[in-house]
Structure 1
Amino acid sequence: MNYFRKQYDFKCIINPFTYFFSLLGLVFSGPSCIAQQARYPFQEITREVIAPELEWNIRGHREFKSIAQSKSDFEIRFDVFAKWHNRMATVITRKDGKYVANFYHKQTESLPKHEQDSSIKYKGEWERYNFKKFPITQVNLDSLVEQLLTHQILSLPDQSKIYKKGFLSPFLVSYKVNGKVGSFRFGSPEDPIREHPDEPVYQHYDAILNMYSKITTPMYRQVWDDVEEAYKKEQLDTIFLRKPHSEGHSVYVDKNKDDDDYHNMLTDLEDTIADQDYIKKFHQLKPFKDSVANQISIGKLPRHWIPLYNYKGNYYLYWPSNRVRRRLSIYGNTLVFNDMERSVSSLNKVSTKDNKTFEVRTTKVNGSQADFKIRFIPYPMGIAVFEDFFGKGSKMLMVDAKYAAFHLVIVNHTPKNMEPEFIFEDPDYEELLNPKRK
């Protein structure tokens, strides 16, 4: 039966692509040719999208609910669990007597990068890549279901029960039909068919696999064509300070500040709000100050600051390899500095004569006092030099968090191992503070 309707204007005839697994991951095999390819529409299931078929699991990933929870009286689900960059599922359900089918794809990572800040912000319900949901409209679903039933999809055994050799089992078929729930796993049928050519079960596995792969391969290829195209564009548009090496490490200027995780995390100050660690250090300050509850006037001094770095005369935020975000904030009459560890000091005095230079005195939890200056530069707005903050003679460039959005981010991208931090040039601080100096 012709259950696959042609969606391509092929200039040659090709055989259906088939899946097979090796230790290196998921690979498609088959002849290639030039084709005029139509785009397949899809919905990206972001955090804000209501998807009743999905749930957040204990590992912080969005996954399908158990098929036993399906509201449909008929559902067949073909899952592909590929460790190497792909998570796929094809779901056929019946509603009001009509079949509906969707293909789901989610890009995955062989070495997942856990973004603790995003995970905390969204209470664990966050992951880097979302499912893409493709409606399957190029298929005669009545004929497809009939073919699947012909190949005994509701009664096949798990491959481990009939094939005693070890094998990878990335394919899972599960179903719920009129209240009956069942499932079976199997791997690439290639070896079992060669070893047992007369065993019909392996022929059924192979037929089912080919039907699904024939339907979903064009959508799968569209996903990765888009990824490749985006990567090529990024490579052309990206300014590299260090080009990628064999393990993927690079240092580059991220230009997508309007919709970018790195920029958002650097400018997100939520985790600097008082918590138990802050309260503990706050109480340690009490012996060294008459009343830490007294409010210190800071005038027009901004309360939140983010480090700024100089590269070839321009100023950038920086996402480090160690993912430690350095920030300084003023809460009440305390100064909180976030670095490898958080320090909390009490503000003893903040004074200024012209709102361009502020003199600050603090008391640390060990009782020692420290003085430093905050000197605003004339241009760009919101940038200041912190003098003596790390000790006499030290200087650090900071930007008022309200103006951080005007600056791009330099990213130290480390997909596998931590790498050395990028060494930035020290700006000419005197020239910054006195630009008219001859």
Structure 2
Amino acid sequence: MKTIQLALLGIIISAGAILDSPKKKSVQNNTFFREYKDTVLQNKYSTIIMGRFIENDTTVILKEYDKKNGKQCLNTIIYIEPNKNSIYYKEIAQPIFLHSGHGQYDLDAWRKYRLEKQKTPLSNIDLSGLPTDWIPLHSYKNHYYVFKPCEIDVPFRRCLTDSTLAYYSMEFYFNAIQKLEKKSNSLYHIELESQDESSLSPTQIYIHIIDRQKKVAIWEYRKENNSEYELMIPIESAKYFDMLVCHTFMDKFFYVKLLKFDEIDFKTLLKQKTL
């Protein structure tokens, strides 16, 4: 009988029901990661800890403590939010005009201003299936994330209407679309109205779709022989990626540059047409 009990115990252990120590939590693509954390700043005002470590079932990237009344108090935390039903995913998936609460009002005021200044009438543009609302996609430690910042994400959120490209950064910036052309299933060209002769803003935008399913796109801004790039996704595609959330408890300001996103090799992405 004792022999049988020992044999059963061995089967249970080998099946993983009894473990000597808990496994590390898995993140994207079920790959395991090594927990680590380092104190990257410590002075009489603040302590900042960065790394990748588990606290209360949450994968933490950064914690900032500020000294208040002689005590260290948590001011900022940056963590990975994998729950696609969280309030942050619901917020980021809102169309830009709903997200801001005053977008349509600002757009109507801008159109009225154009009429008063007798500017060229806005064109009625066919978007040719191009998604309307876009948010940035970031790479951090070789994984792609959407980002819920303490304040404003960069590159800015944006929205296409049938006549306008609108950028949002606490307030709206509107550009009139003169032409939108679908050159292929993976390439769109937008020509914006030039602000004035001295404007440095590019008027030529090429949107390269590099992932058909997730609609991941590289926005290329061309001016003369120079190009600048941004990695963007439609708001509907946020569900395909985990989210980095930056949350502040006391002070609104946080030096977010401490969270350094990866430099993206856009030219390689454009060649391989995939993330």
Call closer, same or farther: CA 1:376–1:289 in 2, change over 3 Å. Answer: farther
Q: How does 1:36-435 map to 2 (within 5 A)?
A: 235-245=55-65, 246-248=72-74, 249-258=76-85, 260-269=86-95, 270-271=98-99, 274-286=103-115, 287=117, 290-292=120-122, 294-322=123-151, 326-363=156-193, 370-378=203-211, 381-388=214-221, 392-417=226-251, 418-421=253-256, 422-435=259-272
Structure 2 distance, partners of 1:271, 1:280, is 18
- Structure 1 counterpart of 2:193, which letter? T
What secondary structure does 1:426 align onto?
coil
The aligned counterpart of 1:47 is none
> Any conservation in 1 of the 2:211–2:273 contact (CA below 8 Å)?
no
Give the C-alpha shift of residue 315 in structure 1.
Answer: 1.4
* Displacement of 1:365: 5.8
Number of residue equivalences = 203
Aligned to 1:190: none
What's the CA shift string for 1:183-224, capped at 9, x where partnerless?
A: xxxxxxxxxxxxxxxxxxxxxxxxxxxxxxxxxxxxxxxxxx
Could you say if the C-alpha distance between residues 255 and 419 of structure 1 is closer, same or farther in structure 2, counting changes exceeding 3 Å? same
Superposed displacement of residue 350, structure 1: 0.9
Q: How far apart, in 1, do the equivalents of 2:268 and 2:222 lie?
A: 20
Task: Indicate how the Cα distance of structure 1 residues 247 and 433 shifts in structure 2: closer, same or farther if over 3 A, else same.
Answer: farther
* 8 Å CA contact retained: 1:254, 1:408: yes
**Which residues of structure 1 form unaligned runs of 5+?**
1-233
**How big is each residue's C-alpha offset from its partner over 1:245-279, in whole Å with a ceiling of 9 and x where there is no partner?**
34321211112221x12222122121357433221
| CA–CA separation in structure 2 for the residues paired with 1:435 and 1:313 | 16
**Superposition CA RMSD, Å:** 3.0
Moved over 6 A (4+): none
User: Which gives a bigger RCO, structure 1 or 2 (Cα 8 Å, sep 6+)?
Assistant: 2
Distance of aligned partners of 1:332 and 1:398 in 2 relative to their CA distance in 1, 3 Å threshold: same
Do the aligned partners of residues 307 and 288 (structure 1) sit closer, same or farther apart at CA in structure 2, a change above 3 Å counting?
A: farther
Question: CA-to-partner distance for each residue in 1:372-404, whole Å, 9 max, x for gaps?
Answer: 111111366211011127994321110011211
**Aligned amino acid, residue 266 of structure 1:** I
Q: TM-score, normalised by structure 2?
A: 0.64
Percent of counterpart pairs with the same letter?
22
Q: CA deviation at 1:240?
A: 2.0
Asked if the contact 1:378–1:433 (Cα under 8 Å) also holds between the matched residues in 2, the reply is no
Following superposition, the deviation at residue 366 of structure 1 comes to 5.6
1:332–1:251: structure 2 CA closer, same or farther, 3 Å change rule? same
1:332 counterpart SS class: coil
Query: Counterpart amino acid of 1:255?
Result: P
* 1:344–1:364 contact (8 Å) kept in structure 2: no
Map of 1:99 onto structure 2? none
Structure 1 residues 302, 288: closer, same or farther in 2, change over 3 A?
A: farther
Q: What secondary structure does 2:73 align onto?
A: coil
TM-fit CA distance, 1:436: 7.7
Kindly indicate which of the two structures has a greater share of residues assigned to strand: 2
Counterpart AA for 2:146: L
Cα 1:247/1:373, change in 2 over 3 Å: farther
Larger Rg: 1
Question: TM-score, length-normalised on structure 1?
Answer: 0.42
Q: Is the contact between residue 333 and residue 346 of structure 1 (CA under 8 Å) also seen in structure 2?
A: yes
Question: Which runs of 5 or more structure 2 residues have no equivalent in the other structure?
Answer: 1-53, 66-71
One-letter code aligned to 2:82: K
The alignment partner of 2:99 has SS state of helix
TM superposition shift of 1:321: 1.8
1:406 to partner: Cα distance:
1.5
* Preserved contact between residue 180 and residue 190 of structure 2 (Cα < 8 Å): yes
Structure 1's 271 and 436: CA in aligned 2 closer, same or farther, altered over 3 A? closer
